[in-house]
Chains A and B, each alone.
Chain A
Amino acid sequence: MARGAWNTALNWGRHSHSVKLEAMTPQERADRLRVFREELAALESEGALELSAGQRAGLDAHVAKTLAGLADSHDVDTTESQRHISLGMKIASALGGLALCVAVVLFFQRYLGTWPTEMQAGVLAMLPIGLTVGAEFAARRERTLYYAALLSIVAFAAFVANLALLGAIFNMAPTPNALLVWGLFGLALAYHFGLRIVLAAGLVSLLGWVIAATNLWRGWWWWEFERRPEELIGAGLLVAVIGTAAGARARHARFHDFPQIYRLLGLLAIFFPMLYLSADGLPSYLPWEPSSVKTFYQMAGVVVSGIAVWIGVRQSWSEVTNTGTLFFAIFLFFRLVEWWWDSMPTYLFFLLLGGIAIGLVAIFKRLRARTRSLA
């Protein structure tokens, strides 16, 4: 039964990767058609496929019509050069969003204190409202959502500044409830516009709120994560599972890449506390000596990151594979330093490190070959 449930859980990702037209974004469909057209031309030139002139003309017309329709309705990229330009636009809008966030903060820092309290409160409240309305306005005018994404990022930052600065103006005691409303606001914007970066910002806020509120309900001061880092591991696991489960059920193509963000943030929330506890076992909940706790997390870090790589490869979740690989290397490196650094010449240590890396490449190669044969 447990095995069946595990298999079902692992198969969520596979279902989400199966090729269903309704589950694909317009851009994915356009990319697939473009690749199909190129591959068809290659097969014809190699003599592996020969279509009649009528068939070829019909197919070309269908593909061209579909691509034109997608470009018209969703403003997708239909050529390789368009894709490069779009990537540049994405980078520019992300950097622009970050720069505007910094500008908002510095603007407030420069001028807010010179205004009367009523004006401070009014401007702080109206800015995120104006930016959110602006993002909606932009989203209705452009299908690619570059401006909407940019304005949403700034709206989120403005809302964070809004509550933080209002709290400072009125000398309010800090409360974790601000994290909750920031998180909900981020999620509302992310699911409204289909924006991953705002989803990540919202999830980070909600992760913080879950831990803070749990501490507050138990009577503890809410902002002392470092004294019990394991709480973050539980919250990270929850986020990764919820994101994957929701992703398996979500049919809307706009959110098809949202589970990646849930899994990535969930894994980071799992691995960072493990890394911290592998260096200092004192803050752990585990009822062992701190040195035993350290050893446990040093080993667990290697094992859990290895499992993450395995699940990532099996499910074709690149974010899980990459994060798992990164932390596997970090945990392994720290282990090797502790075991060998003092007991051997430096050159030998790095020689062994290189040997281990070559061994890992060989293992990954075998894994890749196995995946190919399964496919």
Chain B
Amino acid sequence: MKRAPLFYAALGLLVVSNAFVLVHAQRNRAGEPESEMELTERELRYYPQGKDDSSLTMMLLWQNPVAEYRYQPVPTSEADFFDGAKLKEIGFDLRVAPDAKQAERFYSGQRSREVFVALEYDGPAWQEWLKWRAAVLSTEVPFPQQKPFDVRLRIERETTSRLVAVDVALDPARLREKFPDRKKVMILSGRARVVRDGTPPALRGAITSISTDGINVPNAFRPQMEQMNNYAGGYHQANDGTVIIDPPGFAATIRVGSKYEPWVAEVRKLR
């Protein structure tokens, strides 16, 4: 009996931590969702698992104009939301000039910070993104088997994710004030970093990830998901070489709750 307190403490930890998780999840989903939108297979990729893995997960695909690593700079109008002022607002220390001798070490030592990311669905940011992609594709050196420029652009326009990062902030309420349309803009937690690159070196912000981009699909939607074929890039080629765009196989209603955590509310088969 003398040894019992630690045993009960261990049991207490198990009970309290499970209760905490369940209450947190319940509070996230209680009331009106913070945002709700129907996305298709273009934005939600489902990869069927082998027989030893029963999990059903959709990966949220999104376009990132402020990626950490990029081969070609995004036009300023798309990426200027993550400038020096925003970096300072989020808490990054920018006191060393980007061209100073110690700048490389100073900025590479700064870790990511947790932020909230606004993702706009099929809006002006997506149109801007397509313009930038057209500019990038037109500069690519063609190779013999490559599809013509207009076909490549059509594939991008009709198969890739239309969800585009449009802003970041520490306070999600401020993002919602700026983007009030809850059917068009979803806010999720993610991570951002300060990046020093370019010639001459300059500082810019980068979104490095979305924390909840793997979204669990409840077992209730398994029948719909298991009927899906592998979405092989969203297009295929006919015998004569013509590119045929495959329509998305499903659409899923994604809700985001008061804790900015998403869940799948509905799955609809499209073909």
Does B25 touch A at the CB level, under 8 Å?
yes
Q: Per-position contact with A for B71-96: 1 when CB-CB < 8 Å, else 0?
A: 00000000000000000000100000
B22 to chain A: which residues have CB within 8 Å?
121, 166
Nearest B residue to A289, CB-CB = B105
Q: In the complex, which residues of chain B have a beta carbon less than 8 angstroms from the beta carbon of A117?
A: 218-219
Pairwise interchain contact B111-A224, C-beta atoms closer than 8 A = yes
Cβ–Cβ contact B21 & A167, under 8 A: yes
A residues 6-31 in Cβ contact with B at 8 Å: none
Pick the interface stretch among A68-76, A79-87, A128-136, A348-356: A128-136
Q: Give the tally of cross-chain contacts (CB within 8 A).
A: 126
Binding site for B on A (CB under 8 A): 106, 109-117, 121, 124-125, 128-129, 132-133, 136, 159, 162-163, 166-174, 178, 181, 184-185, 188-189, 191-192, 215, 219-221, 224, 227-228, 282-283, 290
The docked-state distance in angstroms from the alpha carbon of A106 to that of B54 is 10
B111:A166 contact, CB within 8 angstroms? no
Interface contact B113-A219, CB-CB below 8 Å: yes
Nearest Cβ in chain B — how far from A351, in angstroms?
40
Q: Name the residue in B6, B17, B113, B218 with the highest tally of chain A Cβ atoms < 10 Å from its Cβ.
A: B17
Closest partner residue, chain B, to A190 (CB atom): B6
Q: Which residues of B contact A215 (CB under 8 A)?
A: 111
CB < 8 Å: which of B3, B28, B219, B260 contacts A114?
B219
Kindly list the 3 A-B residue pairs having the minimum CB-CB distance in the complex, ordered from nearest.
A113-B54, A192-B6, A221-B112
Give per-residue flags for B210-230: 1 if the beta carbon is below 8 A from chain A beta carbons, else 0.
011011101110100000000
Given contacts A128-B14, A132-B14, A219-B113, contact A109 B214 (CB under 8 A): no
Question: In whole angstroms, how far apart are the Cα atoms of A171 and B24 in the complex?
Answer: 11
Q: Which residues of B contact A129 (CB under 8 A)?
A: 11, 14-15
Report yes or no: B21 in contact with A163, Cβ–Cβ below 8 A: yes
B214-A188 in contact (CB<8A):
no
Q: Are B105 and A166 in contact (CB under 8 A)?
A: no
Asked, given contacts A181-B17, A221-B111, whether A170 binds B10 with beta carbons under 8 Å apart, the answer is: no
Residues of B within 8 A of A (CB): 3, 6-7, 9-11, 13-15, 17-18, 21-22, 24-25, 28, 52-56, 91, 105, 108-109, 111-114, 189, 191, 211-212, 214-216, 218-220, 222, 259-263
**CB < 8 Å neighbour of A171 from B14, B215, B220:** B215
Q: Which residue from B13, B53, B109 sits with its C-beta under 8 Å from A188?
A: B13
Residues in B whose Cβ lies below 8 Å from that of A220: 111-113
Contacts of B109 in A (CB 8 A): 227-228, 282-283
| Bound-complex Cα distance A306 to B8 (A) | 43
Structural contact, A171 and B212, CB atoms closer than 8 A: yes
**Chain B interface mostly:** mixed
- Which partner residue on chain B sits nearest A120 by CB separation? B219
Closest Cβ–Cβ distance, residue A205 to chain B (whole Å): 12
Summarize A's interface: helix, strand, loop or mixed: helix
Query: How far does the alpha carbon of A282 sit from the alpha carbon of B22 in the complex, in Å?
Result: 42
Using Cβ atoms and an 8 Å threshold, which residues of chain A touch B15? 129
Between B18, B25, B109, B191, the greatest number of chain A beta carbons within 10 A of the residue's beta carbon is seen for B18
B6 proximity list for chain A (CB < 8 A): 188-189, 191-192
Question: In the assembled complex, which residues on chain B have CB atoms less than 8 Å from the CB atom of A171?
Answer: 212, 214-216, 261-263
Partner of A132, one of B11, B111, B260: B11
User: Are A168 and B214 closer than 8 Å at their CB atoms?
Assistant: yes
List 11 interface pairs A-B (beta carbons < 8 Å), by A numbering: A110-B52, A116-B218, A117-B218, A125-B18, A128-B14, A166-B25, A173-B212, A173-B260, A188-B9, A191-B6, A282-B105
CB < 8 Å neighbour of B14 from A115, A136, A159, A219: A159
Q: Which of B18, B189, B212, B222 contacts A162 (CB 8 A)?
A: B18
Q: B220: nearest residue on chain A (CB-CB)?
A: A116
- The residues of B that contact A113 with a CB separation of less than 8 Å are 53-56, 219, 222
Contact A170 B25 (CB under 8 A): yes
Q: A114-B222, A173-B211, A188-B9 are in contact. Are A166 and B18 (CB under 8 A)?
A: yes
A112 CA to B261 CA, complexed, in Å: 21
Query: Which residue of the partner chain A has the closest CB to B60?
Result: A171
Interchain CB contact (< 8 A) of B263 among A170, A228, A283: A170
| Residues on B with beta carbons closer than 8 Å to the beta carbon of A168 | 55, 214, 216
Residues of A within 8 A of B114 (CB): 221
A184, B52: Cα distance in complex, Å: 32
CA distance A166 to B22 in the complex (A): 8
* In the bound complex, CA of A184 to CA of B17 (Å): 11
Partner pick for B53 among A109, A219, A283, CB 8 A cutoff: A109
Q: A162: which B residues are within 8 A, CB to CB? A: 14, 18
Q: How far apart are the CA atoms of A167 and B3 in the complex, in Å?
A: 32
**Could you tell me the distance between the alpha carbons of A78 and B115 in the complex, rounded to whole angstroms?**
62
Q: How far is the CA of A177 from the CA of B154 in the complex (A)?
A: 46
Q: Which partner residue on chain B sits nearest A181 by CB separation?
A: B17
Q: A117-B219, A125-B14, A192-B7 are in contact. List 17 more A-B contacts (CB 8 A).
A: A106-B52, A109-B54, A109-B55, A113-B56, A114-B54, A116-B220, A162-B14, A163-B18, A166-B18, A170-B261, A172-B25, A172-B261, A173-B259, A181-B13, A185-B10, A185-B14, A188-B7
CB neighbours of A170 from chain B (8 A): 21, 24-25, 28, 216, 261, 263
Asked if B11 and A110 sit within 8 Å, CB to CB, the answer is no
Which B residues touch A185, using CB under 8 A?
A: 10, 13-14
Most chain A CB atoms below 10 A, which of B113, B218, B219, B259 = B219
Inter-chain contact A173/B261, CB cutoff 8 Å: yes
